[in-house]
Structure 1
């Protein structure tokens, strides 16, 4: 009996490792860039608070809803690291000093917020209209908890500590942001559910 040598050569670990790294990192990199673009697109000042309105929380919500928790966290961590080393990626072209200013808590809160969203959202079930509606509701809940409750908890506490303004005053002045981000959570939940359907 004659055995012929196999012509199939197993892929070298040295060749597959770069591919795995690229596959695991391009989405976090994309969302990190989107966070920068959301701040670069402009900001809307709000009377009574030093924190402007941007689209960053929407991007944080989408990252948490579209990526596994490690990748969502990596996207936000990369964005924060870019600002920490001096790149002008925060609102108004700010960089390092924004991480010790009134907006610091909100920026820091993006990281646990995105991770919380990714952990809470579950998998999209689009097998029927009812299942899709339940998935969208679950996505909305995750976005509200991580993208609003967690982010604002960090934002209020750190802003109050840094400015000396009482916590209740900081919270009251930020109610306009909370309402706006609740609307963003609805948009993010619907968009993520729709994109999940397209990806099938």
Structure 2
């Protein structure tokens, strides 16, 4: 009798741990991908202190491929890693990036990825027309969450920290916007293709 009592909690503990592992591996994977995309290199843009990286592309993919809670968890984990001093942000930066000119973009990743995940809708790749519609919805979600939301936060914080008018910040960032629009197209097509392959 004593053995069955001890076996039951052990089985439920193992089951609980397994459920936690199944739910958390994807957010951890995307948090690592965000770090790798920042560590892979950056391209400076003249007139702005914020470099181009592949981070927004990874944010878009996370929003398009994960449920909103997992996508949000991935970004929260990434931001928390930088906040505690790990060099996960562009240029190997950590905590100070969260109070610098790019802070708004970093913090904007979190609501941006949640917006993407909520707006993308349900994938349907059962026909060519439905696959195209899914890709269009994915592109719309990536543009709204990965560009509009992220840049809204980025422009506001950068303008507040630098004292530059928000219009000047926006004009200096047009190179980023164009690049991120291209990333949105690639992310939407990639996510649609991966969804089709997984069915």
The TM-score range, normalised by the shorter chain, is: over 0.9
Q: Could you tell me which residue of structure 1 aligns to residue 111 of structure 2?
A: 112
Q: Could you tell me which residue of structure 1 aligns to residue 23 of structure 2?
A: 24
- For each residue in 1:126-180, what CA deviation from the matched residue of structure 2 results, as whole angstroms up to 9, or x when unmatched? 1100000000000000000000000000000000001100000000000110000
Runs of 4+ in 1 over 2 A off after TM superposition: none
Q: Could you tell me which residue of structure 2 aligns to residue 6 of structure 1?
A: none
State the number of aligned residues.
192
- For each residue in 1:54-74, what CA deviation from the matched residue of structure 2 results, as whole angstroms up to 9, or x when unmatched? 000000000000000000000
**1:186 CA drift (Å):** 0.1
Partners of 2:92 and 2:37 in 1: how far apart? 11
**1:109 CA drift (Å):** 0.2
Q: Could you tell me which residue of structure 2 aligns to residue 135 of structure 1?
A: 134
Q: Could you tell me which residue of structure 2 aligns to residue 171 of structure 1?
A: 170
Partners of 1:58 and 1:96 in 2: how far apart? 22
| Residue aligned with 1:12, SS | helix
- For each residue in 1:109-140, what CA deviation from the matched residue of structure 2 results, as whole angstroms up to 9, or x when unmatched? 00000000000001110110000000000000
**1:108 CA drift (Å):** 0.2
Partners of 1:127 and 1:93 in 2: how far apart? 43
- For each residue in 1:78-107, what CA deviation from the matched residue of structure 2 results, as whole angstroms up to 9, or x when unmatched? 000000000000000000000000000000
TM-score normalised to structure 2 length: 0.95
Partners of 2:174 and 2:49 in 1: how far apart? 13
Gaps of 5+ in 1: 1-8
**1:12 CA drift (Å):** 2.9
2:195 paired with 1:196: yes
**1:184 CA drift (Å):** 0.2
TM-score normalised to structure 1 length: 0.94
Gaps of 5+ in 2: 1-7
Q: Could you tell me which residue of structure 2 aligns to residue 14 of structure 1?
A: 13
| Residue aligned with 2:181, SS | helix
Larger Rg: 1
Bigger fraction of residues in helix: 2
| Residue aligned with 2:189, SS | helix
